[in-house]
C-alpha cells in the first residue's frame, strides 16, 4: 500500500482545527505534524491541500444503491464512486431493493458486493419482512452480520403495536430503528405537498400532517419503550418541533434532513418536471426556513443525502406517476456549503462525525484525525466553484434537480482505508 502525504491544509475534526500535514501509512494515519515541520515526511503520493480543509470522511446514513434488483439505475460500484467524489468514505445502503434487504442472505450479498467498492459500503435492513409492515425481520440474525440500523424506508411502519415490538426487540439488540414518517392513509397517494401550490397545479397533495402524526406516535413509543428512534428525512416545521421537545425530555431520538429540503421548495413543482418529485415532498418556504434553523440549533443531528437514482425512462412519466427521488451524493456537501450560513466545521459535523456516531461507525469514520486512526479522509476546497452537469456525474442515473446550478465548495481528494480514491476531483477507480 502506498504511503500518502497530505500537505498544506487546515485539519478540521471534532477536536478543533489546526494547520498540519498528515502522513498515511498502511491504511492508518501515521503522523499529524504542524505545517512546515513535515518537510521530511517521505511518501509515495503527495496530495496538495493548499487552501483546503482536511477532514474526516463524510458518512451518509441514507443512500439508495438499488442493487439488487434495479441495477439499470445504480449499482453498488457506481454509487460508491459517486460517494467518494462527494467526499463520503462510508455510506449506508437502504433496504428497499428487489428483493428487500430483509434476510441474512440478501444482506450478505450487499456486503459482499460492497467489499469491492471504493468506499465503505454498509447496509441497513428492513424492520418488516418485504417492508410489508406485517411481520418483523430476523433482527438478531441481521444484527449478528453487523447491521446497526433497521428501516422500512420508502414506507412507514403503519402498525403502532408492531413498531412498539420492534423498538423493544431493537433495544435488547442495541440497534437503531429508523422511521420513514408517513401515515399512508393521510398521504393518500399525494404527489407533492398539499397546499396552495398543489391546488393551483391540479396535483394530488400530501399534507404535512401525514409526516407529523407518525413523528408524534413514534416519540410516544420511544417514551414507552426507552428505544432509540432515528427519524429520516424530516421536512416540516412541526416535525422538528416535536423532535426538539422529545430531546428536551431526554428521549433517545435523532433525526436527519436532506439537502433538497433545505434548498428547494414546493414552488419548484410548478414546472411539472418529475425531477422535483420526492418523498417526503418539497415543502413550503416556512418549512425550509425551519429545517435550516434546526440545522443551526442542533435539533437536527445530521444531513443525509437520500440519494435516489432513477432511470430517465422512469422519471419521464407524468409527475403524479413518476417515482420519487433525486441524486444527492456528489452535490450534498457543496449544497450545504453554498446554502447554509454555517461554519465549515459545523457542516462537517453534520455530515461526518455525527452520522458516524448514530450507526456506530465512529471507530473507523468521522473520528479525530490523529495518529493510529484509520485513514478515511476528505480534502475539501471551500472556495472552489463548479456547475452541476448531470452528464459528468458518476451515477448511472441523471435525475438531479441542480443541473446548471453553480455551487461553491468541492472535494479535491478522498482517502479510503489509506488509498487515494479521488485525486484532484477525479475518481481513481
* Phi-psi domain of 272 (left: phi exceeds 0; alpha: psi -120 through 50; beta: other): left
d(CA 124, CA 139): 11
- By CB neighbour count within 10 A (0-12 exposed, 13-18 middle, 19+ buried), where does 230 fall? buried
Residue 172 neighbours by CB distance under 10 Å: 11
Look-up: residue for cell 466553484? 385
Sign of torsion, CA 391 392 395 399?
A: negative
- By CB neighbour count within 10 A (0-12 exposed, 13-18 middle, 19+ buried), where does 223 fall? middle
d(CA 378, CA 49): 10
Closest by alpha carbon to 60, among 111, 119, 10?
A: 119
Q: Which of 306, 362, 381, 417 is catalytic?
A: 306
d(CA 163, CA 170): 10
Sign of torsion, CA 123 128 130 132?
A: negative
Residue 306 falls in the annotated catalytic set: yes
Give me the half-sphere count of Cα atoms (radius 13 Å) on the Cβ side of residue 199: 3
Distances from the Cα of 287 to the Cα of 244, 274, 332, angstroms: 15, 21, 19
Closest by alpha carbon to 204, among 321, 308, 310, 312?
A: 321
Continuous segment of H or E residues that includes residue 22: strand 16-25
SS3 content of the chain, % helix, strand, coil (to 5): 30, 25, 45
Look-up: residue for cell 403495536? 161
Distances from the Cα of 89 to the Cα of 51, 79, 209, angstroms: 21, 12, 35
- Positions marked catalytic: 306
Amino acid at each position: 500500500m502506498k504511503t500518502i502525504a497530505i500537505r498544506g491544509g487546515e485539519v478540521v475534526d471534532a477536536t478543533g482545527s489546526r494547520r498540519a500535514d498528515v502522513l498515511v501509512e498502511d491504511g492508518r494515519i501515521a503522523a499529524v505534524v504542524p505545517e512546515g515541520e513535515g518537510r521530511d515526511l517521505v511518501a509515495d503520493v503527495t496530495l496538495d491541500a493548499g487552501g483546503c480543509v482536511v477532514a474526516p470522511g463524510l458518512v451518509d446514513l441514507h443512500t439508495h444503491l438499488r442493487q439488487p434488483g434495479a441495477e439499470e439505475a445504480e449499482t453498488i460500484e457506481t454509487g460508491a464512486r459517486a460517494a467518494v467524489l462527494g467526499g463520503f468514505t462510508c455510506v449506508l445502503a437502504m433496504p428497499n431493493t428487489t428483493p428487500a434487504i430483509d434476510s441474512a442472505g440478501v444482506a450478505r450479498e450487499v456486503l459482499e458486493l460492497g467489499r469491492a467498492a471504493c468506499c465503505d459500503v454498509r447496509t441497513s435492513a428492513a424492520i418488516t419482512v418485504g417492508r410489508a409492515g406485517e411481520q418483523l425481520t430476523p433482527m438478531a440474525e441481521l444484527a449478528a452480520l453487523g447491521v446497526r440500523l433497521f428501516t422500512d424506508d420508502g414506507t412507514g411502519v403503519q402498525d403502532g403495536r408492531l413498531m412498539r415490538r420492534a423498538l423493544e426487540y431493537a433495544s435488547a439488540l442495541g440497534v437503531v430503528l429508523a422511521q420513514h414518517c408517513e401515515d399512508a392513509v393521510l398521504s393518500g397517494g399525494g404527489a407533492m405537498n398539499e397546499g396552495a401550490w398543489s391546488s393551483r397545479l391540479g396535483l394530488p397533495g400530501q399534507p404535512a400532517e401525514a409526516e407529523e402524526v407518525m413523528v408524534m406516535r413514534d416519540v410516544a413509543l420511544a417514551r414507552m419503550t426507552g428505544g432509540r428512534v432515528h427519524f429520516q428525512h424530516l421536512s416540516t416545521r412541526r416535525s422538528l418541533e416535536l423532535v426538539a421537545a422529545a430531546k428536551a425530555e431526554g428521549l433517545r431520538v435523532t433525526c436527519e434532513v436532506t439537502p433538497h429540503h433545505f434548498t428547494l421548495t414546493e414552488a419548484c413543482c410548478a414546472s411539472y418536471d418529475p425531477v422535483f418529485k420526492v418523498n417526503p415532498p418539497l415543502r413550503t418556504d416556512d418549512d425550509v426556513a425551519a429545517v435550516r434553523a434546526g440545522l443551526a440549533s442542533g435539533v437536527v443531528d445530521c444531513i443525509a443525502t437520500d440519494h435516489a437514482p432513477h432511470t430517465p425512462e422512469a422519471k419521464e412519466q407524468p409527475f403524479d406517476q413518476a417515482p420519487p427521488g433525486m441524486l444527492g451524493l456528489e452535490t450534498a456537501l457543496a449544497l450545504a456549503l453554498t446554502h447554509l450560513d454555517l461554519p465549515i466545521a459545523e457542516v462537517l459535523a453534520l455530515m461526518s462525525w455525527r452520522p458516524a456516531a448514530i450507526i456506530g461507525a465512529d471507530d473507523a469514520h468521522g473520528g479525530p484525525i490523529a495518529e493510529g486512526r484509520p485513514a478515511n479522509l476528505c480534502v475539501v476546497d471551500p472556495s472552489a466553484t463548479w456547475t452541476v452537469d448531470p452528464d459528468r456525474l458518476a451515477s448511472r442515473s441523471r435525475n438531479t434537480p441542480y443541473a446548471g446550478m453553480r455551487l461553491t465548495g468541492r472535494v479535491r481528494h478522498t482517502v479510503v482505508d489509506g488509498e487515494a480514491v479521488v485525486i484532484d476531483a477525479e475518481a481513481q477507480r
